[in-house]
Amino acid sequence: MIIGKYPTNERIVKGGIESAVYGLVHALKKRYKNKIEISLISPNSEKDFYKKENDIEVKYISNPYRWQLLYAFRLKDILGVLKNREFTIVHLHGSSLLNLFTILYLLIKGIPFVVTIHGIVSIEHKNRFVLNKNLKNFIKFIIHSFVEYTILILSKFIIVDTEYVKKKLPFTNHKKVFVVPQGINEIFFNIEDQPIFGDILSVGVISPRKGYEYSIQAIAKLKNRFPEIHYEIIGAMNSLEQKEYYKKLRALIKKFKLENTVFIYPNKSKNFLIEHLKKAYIFILHSQEESQGIAFCEAMAAGKPIVATNVGGVPYVVKNEVTGFLSDYGDVKSFIENITKLLEDPQLRNYMSKNCRIEAKKYDWNKISTDIIRIYEDLVKKRSFHK
């Protein structure tokens, strides 16, 4: 049983957790075919419904509430699904309040489980509070930190995507913490590199954490030197906060008179992303925090040199001066200089493009699914939850 966000429309995958869960499920089915059965509980769909395709069962449970934390009120429905299914192990994705309550149930029943931590929520909310110090952000920081810390205390088997996350997680000294990166869809390895000079791309949820305002500022400066520059942002946009941030970005684009240069495309299909990734000359992202950054891995698989920030798990994914360049978060001047290096030197761009293809091979789901299965087997064998 897997509990985590799963796309309702496979052509549109919204965010890192959906991408990770979707990739893992299909890699397991492809590799092991009829040897394993997979059932999913997927939160945050627009309505409750059940779907079964290719022997993959998905129960979508909606969140009718405005606030994500209130989704915990759907716990009864999720436990109902768990009670009516036979399974060997439960794999939870994320550190939500709902997952915390589910873990308590699994502990009481003695059911083996493993948790994949997608990003360090406490750090993300701390950064948000530092940027905008108000009571709402402070309360969110306290609640989400408490939930995350409690999950870490209760969980004996934990999966993280980079060494950075492993080092940063508290309460994990005496636990099994496995570093297994999130994989990427095999289609990204087959994308032809057909770069159009000046085409710059960012992919990631429309969120302040992605630092798009800094990227737009950089493009505004670069436009004078490279008039053919063209910048696109593709990402999921669902929450009220994301929609408000989108409005701020639109206002910034208007302020810099970049209406014909910078384009934002929310909630687009995978095919749309692939077509735009194919022609991108450079991939940029000025993130404030990333645990891994699946978008970096997808871009590298497509042969796109990266310009990013030296934060979180990014340096574990993007090798500075090998597959791209790293700047400090908020340092727009350095960010501009790194983009300029790639625009001015086609040979450097091609060198890094080749390195990106090679580096991206470690994010092949075929290998990663094997590592995940080994963890499942270890977990079931040791039954650490009864000790």
The residue ranking higher by pLDDT, 380 or 13, is 380
- The mean pLDDT of the chain is 90
List, by residue range, all CATH 3.40.50.2000 domains of the chain: 2-183+364-386, 186-363
pLDDT band at 387 (very low <50, low <70, confident <90, very high): very low
Task: Give me the pLDDT at residue 36, please.
Answer: 65
Task: Give me the pLDDT at residue 283, please.
Answer: 99
Mean pLDDT confidence for 199-223: 97
Q: Could you tell me which residues come within 8 angstroms of residue 72 by beta carbon, excluding any fewer than 6 positions away?
A: 96, 97, 98, 101
Tokens of 81: 């699904």
pLDDT tens-digit readout, 38-89:
777 777 667 888 888 777 888 888 877 766 677 777 888 888 888 887 788 9
Strand partners, 40: 2, 58
Tokens of 313: 């798990």
Task: Give me the pLDDT at residue 45, please.
Answer: 63
pLDDT tens-digit readout, 178-198:
999 999 988 999 999 999 999
Task: Give me the pLDDT at residue 159, please.
Answer: 95
CATH 3.40.50.150 applies to domain 186-363: no
- Amino acid code (one letter) for 261: T
DSSP, collapsed to helix, strand or coil, labels residue 48 as coil
pLDDT tens-digit readout, 87-141:
889 999 999 888 999 999 999 988 899 999 998 999 989 988 988 889 989 999 9
The residue ranking higher by pLDDT, 207 or 49, is 207
165's enclosing H/E stretch is helix 163-168
**Angstrom distance (rounded) from CA 39 to CA 155:** 21
pLDDT tens-digit readout, 280-321:
999 999 999 999 999 999 999 999 999 999 999 999 999 999
- In CATH, the architecture of 2-183+364-386 is 3-Layer(aba) Sandwich (3.40)
- Amino acid code (one letter) for 109: K
Over 50: is that where the pLDDT of 205 sits? yes
**Angstrom distance (rounded) from CA 256 to CA 56:** 48
Task: Give me the pLDDT at residue 220, please.
Answer: 98
Task: Give me the pLDDT at residue 332, please.
Answer: 98
Phi then psi for residue 173, to 5 deg, are -60, -35
Task: Give me the pLDDT at residue 44, please.
Answer: 63
Over 50: is that where the pLDDT of 384 sits? no
Picking from 128, 126, 180, 133, the residue whose alpha carbon sits closest to that of residue 148 is 126
DSSP, collapsed to helix, strand or coil, labels residue 85 as coil
**Angstrom distance (rounded) from CA 350 to CA 135:** 48
Do residues 7 and 18 make contact, with C-beta atoms less than 8 angstroms apart? yes
pTM for the model: 0.88
pLDDT band at 240 (very low <50, low <70, confident <90, very high): confident
Reported residue count of the chain is 387
DSSP, collapsed to helix, strand or coil, labels residue 326 as strand
pLDDT band at 34 (very low <50, low <70, confident <90, very high): low
Over 50: is that where the pLDDT of 247 sits? yes
**Angstrom distance (rounded) from CA 303 to CA 195:** 10
DSSP code of residue 312: T
Q: What is the share, in percent, of the chain residues with pLDDT greater than 70?
A: 95
Tokens of 285: 């992202």
